[in-house]
Amino acid sequence: MKYRKALNQWLDRLLMRSELSTRERDAVLALPCDLVEVSANRDFVRLGDHTTHACLVTDGLVGRFAQTADGERQITALHVPGDMVDLHSVVSPAATSALQAIGRTTIVRVPHMALKRTADELPELGRAFWRDCVVDAAILATWVINVGHRPAAARVAHLICELAVRYAAIGLANGQSFPFLLTQSQLGETTGMTSVHVNRMIAQLRERRLLAWRSRMIEIVDWPGLRTLAGFDPLYLSLPEDLLRRIYALFGTSRRMTAA
């Protein structure tokens, strides 16, 4: 069943950063939940909502949005399959930002009470939950630096490097390609640029033979070159060294030229 798949995906994410006993693993897989299909571009958590569930992505992509008083929006986080997008809501249930499906997305909702009870009964698993939240905070801090201090092309390159690694870590990279579900407008909302400016930056990356982008997929053509331009260091993702080595080997070190 799909909800079982989702819980396995989250368990895999937890195991990237925490050692868990058989009992603790079984407790994750036994969490009660319900499956929800969310249509594209629909908010399923709104600013100010009092939430009673945490949401786990099983298919698709979720964006977290902050919003100004006049309605301007900024994407402040992207969540891929296996991410519990608002685990922090277990202890802080008032939504301070909106969650939206980027394209058609499937989520699984896990009751706060079940997560609290599990964390109380199994303290080491509780620590794994909070460690998971720390990773999300580290990603947000890195995004602040990216938007505030990197040139435009490097900003786009850094986000692409991050998503390449995150998709590869969960087994969703196909060779040197991975899903890229954002439109250019949404990419602009993530990197603090207009869609016109984003279009120019993507053109630059293509012209430099760093990547190819087509049919909602990005292919990494020159991984070392893209990383160098971005100044990308995956330390903030807190992934195991052996996993990072496999990911880097997957994307390769050669300049395999592919038409963009």
Q: Based on the fold, state whether residues 120 and 198 are members of the same structural domain.
A: no
CATH code, domain with 209: 1.10.10.10
- Domain check: are 122 and 6 in the same one? yes
Q: Can you give the residue range of the structural domain that contains 208?
A: 150-251
Q: How far, CA to CA in Å, does 141 sit from each of 138, 146, 223, 228?
A: 5, 9, 23, 20
Q: Is residue 215 part of a domain?
A: yes
Which tokens in the block code for residue 55?
């949401």
Q: For residue 254, is pLDDT > 80? A: no
User: Does residue 107 lie within any of the structural domains?
Assistant: yes
Q: Is-contact 39 18, C-beta < 8 A?
A: no
Residue 180, domain member (yes or no): yes
Q: Are residues 8 and 38 in the same domain?
A: yes
For residue 142, being part of any structural domain is answered with no
What count of other Cβ atoms lies within 10 Å of the Cβ of residue 54?
A: 25
Q: Is residue 89 part of a domain?
A: yes
Are 10 and 74 part of one and the same domain? Answer: yes
Domain annotation covers residue 144: no
Hey, which bits of 123-234 come out as E strands? 177-179, 211-214, 217-220
Q: 12: domain CATH number?
A: 2.60.120.10
Q: Each residue of 40-98: pLDDT tens digit?
A: 999 999 999 999 999 999 999 999 999 888 878 899 999 999 999 999 999 999 999 99
The pLDDT tens digits for 99-149 are 999 999 999 999 999 999 999 999 999 999 999 999 999 999 999 999 999
pLDDT-derived band at 255 (thresholds 50, 70, 90) equals very low
Residues 63 and 154 in one domain: no
Point out the domain boundary residue: 137, 165, 184: 137
Whether residue 74 sits in one domain with residue 7: yes
Cα 231 to Cα 141, 191, 226, 235, distances in angstroms: 15, 15, 8, 12
Q: How confident is the model at residue 243 (pLDDT cuts 50, 70, 90)?
A: very high
**Residue after which a domain boundary falls, among 137, 172, 203:** 137
Q: Residue 84: exposed, middle, or buried by beta-carbon count in 10 A (0-12, 13-18, 19+)?
A: buried
pTM over 0.75? The answer is yes
Is 143 domain-assigned? no
Residue 42 and residue 168 share a domain: no
Q: What three-state secondary structure class fits 119?
A: helix
Looking at the structure of the chain, the number of domains it has is 2
Same domain? 126 vs 48:
yes
Does residue 145 belong to any structural domain of this protein? no
Percent of the chain scoring above 70 in pLDDT? 96
Mark which of 85, 102, 137 sits at the end of a domain: 137
Beta carbons of 101 and 94 less than 8 angstroms apart: no
Do 105 and 13 share a structural domain? yes
Give the integer Cα–Cα distance in Å for 10 and 17. 12
